[in-house]
Amino acid sequence: MKYQLLGTGFLQASTALVVGGIIVFSALFASCSGSSPEGERKLDPLLREKLGALESAGSSEKIGVVGRCALPIDDSIRKNLEETGASIGTAVKTTFTAAGTAPQIRKLAALSAVISLELAVERQSIPY
């Protein structure tokens, strides 16, 4: 009795699937890590979407953000934040508020002291 382990057709199909998987994984990895600036991963999804919309419209509208730093915000860190051109508001411990144009917010995100930025939520008071 003769035994045939695997046919050559199976081996070719398996090789094609492995190679195809490697190509797809490489393309996804490159699009997620290589093409975006360093600060992009510090932006929350809503802020990323808002910045994209402002940039595509060529708008100079200022938007508010809430940011977090790796260390407590002292005069030196606050100066670095202000040098981006954004208006820095309240700073408590490691959290700060800021307002700026899309390029200014991107500069904030690029700072090594900043670990995250979120789109600020504006709340309106409820009349009684």
| Cβ atoms 82, 88 nearer than 8 A | yes
The reply to whether 80 and 43 lie within a common domain is yes
* pTM (predicted TM-score): 0.67
Residue 93, in any domain of the structure: yes
The reply to whether 55 and 94 lie within a common domain is yes
Six-digit token pair at 125? 């008071």
Residue 94 to residues 23, 30, 44, 46, 60: CA-CA distances in angstroms?
Answer: 41, 32, 17, 21, 28
* Domains held by the chain: number: 2
pLDDT tens string, the chain, 128 residues long: the values are 555 555 555 555 555 444 444 443 333 333 333 334 678 999 999 999 999 999 999 999 999 999 999 999 999 999 999 999 999 999 999 999 999 999 999 999 999 999 999 999 877 888 87
The reply to whether 87 and 112 lie within a common domain is yes
Domain that holds residue 16: 1-35
| Cβ atoms 60, 80 nearer than 8 A | no
